Structure 1
Amino acid sequence: MTDALLRLEGVHTHIGRYHILHGVDFAVPRGQLTMLLGRNGAGKTTTLRTIMGLWQASKGQVQFDGRDITALPTPDIAQAGIAYVPENMGIFADLTVRENMLLAARSGDLDVKRLQWIFGLFPALEKFWNQAAGVLSGGQKQMLAIARAIVEPRELLLIDEPTKGLAPAIIMNMITAFRELKATGATILLVEQNFMAAKLLGDSVVVMDDGRIVHHGAMAELAADQTLQQKLLGLSMEAHQ
């Protein structure tokens, strides 16, 4: 992998007495969208949380833009240019959409031009700008969570299952938004269970099973190989069109 923005080398993670990640090795190419796939419980969320320092790697190394960030505290990792959107979205329901966005802006202010670009991706956020985030639908809350991650330019976006539980029309909206993000040159590591989204968005793919990397390569190759899909994921992407 020639120009990897993120690289994990031999990463092990323990949570209490449980050994979750077992020597995870993979790289995320700069300017690409890398899909992180696997069955439930494979270790995908633990991988994202380990990258962010929310759970500490017990062995191995996480490198970001050539820098060892393995032992850094989470605020320092965020300050280095990595944004994380967890599966539970982590928005503040009692605050307005605007206040949620302001909290995510490291400068303490919102760039008007960038905000208009975000509204173009997620028009509902402009509509509910001064309303409490708690009144948003599930899909709108997910839009807000992603918008907070991109309220300022970030080097790397880590996003955990953004289409989970969403209606098909909202999923297509998300796919369009991620395509626009890709067009800006953003580097994204995306955990996803919706295989249509994975097929449409992914440049490269990493597949996990039981805390280990069992496959990596081009997303198009996995999407075209139903036998490999069945072997790695236990299902066919074509069955989920």
Structure 2
Amino acid sequence: MSEPTAPAPAAAAPLLTLSGVHTHIGQYHILQGVDLQVPRGGLAVLLGRNGAGKTTLLRTIMGLWQASAGSVKFDGREIGKLATPDIAQAGIAYVPESMAVFSELTVRENMLLAARNGPLDEARVEWIFGFFPALKKFWHYPAGNLSGGQKQMVAIARAIAEPRKLLLVDEPTKGLAPAIIQSLIAAFRELKETDTTILLVEQNFSFVKSLGDTVAVMDDGRIVHAGAMRDLVDNQDLQQRLLGLSLDSHQ
């Protein structure tokens, strides 16, 4: 008689689940029934052409725009009707494409405002300086005097000033020099090794190929594909069908 087979371990529940999410902005119906799961741990990439609804999806998760229908669950809790500060308190941080910083405040003061639970953790600040040494150099400079790339560093540093469960990042490499992009890659790779899950909207395909664990593709307000990043990178026919291009042609 054969030994009984041990049951396979259950897959970890997704950290974030969107089910049938619709978002209207004025008269415009932007998200049209989005279903998306973001696995716990690692980095998930959201692709799609301009106007597909990617930024609206991030802003809906963050509560900046309210879903008109559907469910948004984070770590097993429904957050679709919560206010943005409550969503942030639950452990989600958002880095918008606009590189939102307080221009009149110094880099240090921008970071102090991001520390919700007391003074800045000096060890964590030094860890952040390891990715973005320019921030140490400009620590006492007004953030408004920095370059676009340096402001992007401040925006990301603010989002990770304290440990977060989920980091939402919108087009972080847009307009950045290659050297700064390499710093971002190093930062995201190390964040992936912590307890931080990342959902990244990005159009720099070389960047996402090197980082993404999973990928979802949006079109006309819906998710039209979801799976492993490796499967999309290895399948040029699928790239062409979903995105109208080959990732290899966009380095």
Question: What TM-score bracket applies, with the shorter chain setting the length?
Answer: over 0.9
Check the 8 A contact 2:42/2:198 in 1, yes or no: yes
- Structure 1 partner of 2:189: 179
Check the 8 A contact 2:205/2:250 in 1, yes or no: yes
Q: Give 1:35's match in structure 2, choosing from 41, 45, 55.
A: 45
TM alignment of 1:53-68, pairs within 5 A: 53-68=63-78
- Structure 2 partner of 1:238: 248
- Structure 2 partner of 1:169: 179
> AA paired with 2:117?
S
Q: Give 1:198's match in structure 2, choosing from 208, 212, 216.
A: 208
- Structure 2 partner of 1:124: 134
- Structure 2 partner of 1:212: 222
Deviations 1:49-78 (A, max 9, x none): 000110000000000000000000000000
Q: Secondary structure at the residue paired with 1:4?
A: coil
- Structure 2 partner of 1:26: 36
> AA paired with 2:66?
Q
- Structure 2 partner of 1:141: 151
Deviates more, 1:220-229 or 1:75-84: 220-229
Write the distance in 1 (CA, Å) between the matches of 2:87 and 2:195.
20
Write the distance in 1 (CA, Å) between the matches of 2:179 and 2:108.
25
- Structure 2 partner of 1:3: 13
- Structure 2 partner of 1:48: 58
Q: CA deviation at 1:108?
A: 3.5
Write the distance in 1 (CA, Å) between the matches of 2:246 and 2:124.
39
Number of equivalent positions: 241
> AA paired with 1:105?
A
**Structure 1 length-normalised TM:** 0.98
Write the distance in 2 (CA, Å) between the matches of 1:176 and 1:225.
26
Q: Which has the larger radius of gyration?
A: 2
Write the distance in 1 (CA, Å) between the matches of 2:53 and 2:162.
29
Check the 8 A contact 2:38/2:199 in 1, yes or no: yes
Write the distance in 2 (CA, Å) between the matches of 1:32 and 1:107.
25
Write the distance in 1 (CA, Å) between the matches of 2:60 and 2:38.
15
> AA paired with 1:173?
S
Write the distance in 1 (CA, Å) between the matches of 2:164 and 2:112.
16
Moved over 4 A (4+): none
Q: CA deviation at 1:103?
A: 0.5
Residue identity (%): 73
- Structure 2 partner of 1:16: 26
Q: CA deviation at 1:235?
A: 1.4
Check the 8 A contact 2:115/2:161 in 1, yes or no: yes
Deviations 1:129-150 (A, max 9, x none): 0000011111111111000000
Deviations 1:140-163 (A, max 9, x none): 111110000000001100000000
Deviates more, 1:180-189 or 1:195-204: 180-189
Write the distance in 2 (CA, Å) between the matches of 1:232 and 1:6.
23
Write the distance in 1 (CA, Å) between the matches of 2:112 and 2:118.
6
Give unmatched runs, 5+ long, in structure 1. none
**Structure 2 length-normalised TM:** 0.94
Q: Secondary structure at the residue paired with 1:238?
A: helix
User: Would you say 1:115 and 2:125 are equivalent positions?
Assistant: yes
Check the 8 A contact 2:12/2:40 in 1, yes or no: no
Write the distance in 2 (CA, Å) between the matches of 1:240 and 1:30.
29
> AA paired with 1:25?
D
Q: CA deviation at 1:171?
A: 1.3
User: Would you say 1:86 and 2:64 are equivalent positions?
Assistant: no
> AA paired with 2:168?
L
